[in-house]
Structures are given as C-alpha cells and as structure tokens.
Amino acid sequence: MRRVSLSVNGDQHELELEPRELLVYVLRERLGLTGATVGCDTSSCGSCTVLLDGESVKSCTVLGVQADGHRITTIEGLAENGALHPLQESFRTHHALQCGYCTPGMVMAAVSLLAENPRPSEAEIRHALEGNLCRCTGYQNIVRAIEAVA
C-alpha cells in the first residue's frame, strides 16, 4: 500500500492505495465519483476520460499512485455553481448523447481539445475524438455540439 495525495475537482484526498489500482477505480470505488465509466479493458473506448492537470487522460491507463500530487477533474467537477459547462449544455441542445455511457469521457475529451485548439475544424474534432467510442449517436451530433462551442 502506498500513501497518495490527490486533488479531485478541487477537493484534497489522502488515500492508501494498492499499487495496481487504476485511477478510474480509485475515482469510482474509493471516492464514489462514478461519472467516469469503464467500457473496455484495452484503453480503446475512452469512457473513463478525465483531466489530469488539465489534459485528457484515459483513467484506465493511469495508476492511482501515478496521479499522486496531481490535479484531477472529472465530469462531476465540470459544472460551476450549478451551471453546466458550455460543452455539457451544447451536448444537450444538440442531442449529442443517447444512452450516455460514453458521454462523460466524450465531454472531457472535448474540453481538453478546446483547451489546446479553441477553433478546431470538423476534421480536427473528429480526429481528436478518435480515442472515444460512441455506439449510439454515429458521432455527428457530438461533432456539431463541439463545433457550436468552439
């Protein structure tokens, strides 16, 4: 077991973690933050995407102990004072989600994209989402939702 200090959505957590615990399970099972979901076991689907120091990572490919001392933002930490983040709002108005299982990861990937590239083209948006799979929407409305905020 190793002592780890995590800042998650602005809250400080001191945890004793097994070295093998993946960040996504630390978030889901230790901290009760079940917004990030697990859709695969090969780092393919991106449902578990969160921000690590502001950049998107797949939290199934980060060990909890690797996140020691870092700042993590999950979908639960995106809305401010009860107001949805513009991307969350845009996903709703553009019907960019159906079952919603991939949505937290998709939104976090989009947040990261726009932080790096505030005016992406459609092709750039599609390329940036390559690591986030959605089985319901066919992606079109997700792309539109991101374009509308960009």
Partner 1 sequence: MVAPIELEIGEAIGAPVERKEDHKLLVGQAQWVDNMRVPGMAYMAVVRSPYAHARITRVDVAPALAHADVVAAYSAADLQEEWAGSLPCAWLPTEDTKAPPHLPLAADKARYVGDGVAVVVASSRAAAEDAAELVEVEYEPLPAIVDPEAALAEGAPLVHDELGTNRCYTWRLDAGEVDALFDEAEVIVRGRFRQNRLIPTAIEPRAVLVQPLPANGEFTMWSTTQVPHIARVTLSGVLGIPEAKLRVIAPDVGGGFGSKLNVYAEEALALGLARRLGRAIKWTEGRSEGYLATIHGRDQWQEIELAANADGKISAVRARVVAAMGAYLQLVTPGIPLLGAWLYAGAYDVQGYSFECTGVFTHTTPTDAYRGAGRPEATYAIERAVDALAAKLGKDPVEVRRLNFIREFPNAIAAGLTIDSGDYDAGLDLALGTAGYKELRTEQAERRAKGDPKRLGIGLSTYVEMCGLAPSKILGAIRYSAGGWDTATIRCLPTGTVQVLTGVSPHGQGHETTWSQIAADLLGYDVDEIEVLHGDTAVVPLGMDTYGSRSLAVGGVALYFAAERIVAKARLIAAHKLGVEPSQVDYVRGRFTGPEDSIALKDIALAAWTAHDLPDGVEPGLEASFVYDPPNFSWPSGAHLAVVEVDTETGNVEVLRYIAVDDVGTVVNPLIVDGQIHGGIAQGIAQALFEEAVYDDDGNLLTGNMVSYLVPSAPDLPSYELDRTETPSPTNPLGVKGVGETGAIASPAAVINAVCDALAADGVTDIQMPATPERVWRALEEAKR
The reply on whether position 49 binds partner 1 by CB under 8 A is: no
The reply on whether position 6 binds partner 1 by CB under 8 A is: no
In single-letter form, the type of residue at position 115 comes to A
Q: How far is the CB of 101 from partner 1 (least distance, A)?
A: 3
Can you tell me which of 51, 102, 111, 113 binds partner 1, judged by CB under 8 A?
A: 102
Long-range contact pairs involving 2-8 (C-beta distance under 8 Å, separation at least 24): 2/65, 2/68, 4/64, 4/65, 4/67, 4/68, 5/68, 5/69, 6/64, 6/67, 6/68, 6/70, 6/72, 7/70, 7/71, 7/72, 8/33, 8/72, 8/73, 8/74, 8/77
Can you tell me which of 44, 61, 117, 121 binds partner 1, judged by CB under 8 A?
A: 44
**By C-beta, is 6 or 107 nearer to partner 1?**
107
Can you tell me which of 61, 117, 121, 140 binds partner 1, judged by CB under 8 A?
A: 140
For the chain, the farthest-separated pair of C-alpha atoms sits apart, in whole angstroms, at 46
- C-alpha 85, offset from chain centre: 13
Q: How far is the CB of 54 from partner 1 (least distance, A)?
A: 18
The reply on whether position 101 binds partner 1 by CB under 8 A is: yes
Bridge partner residues of 14 (DSSP)? 5
User: Which residue has 């959505």 as its token pair?
Assistant: 9
User: Which residue has 């093998």 as its token pair?
Assistant: 20
The reply on whether position 132 binds partner 1 by CB under 8 A is: yes
The reply on whether position 97 binds partner 1 by CB under 8 A is: yes
Applying CB under 8 A, the residues found at the interface with partner 1 are 20, 28, 33-42, 44-45, 47, 74-76, 78-79, 84, 88, 91-93, 95, 97-104, 107, 122-123, 125-127, 129-143
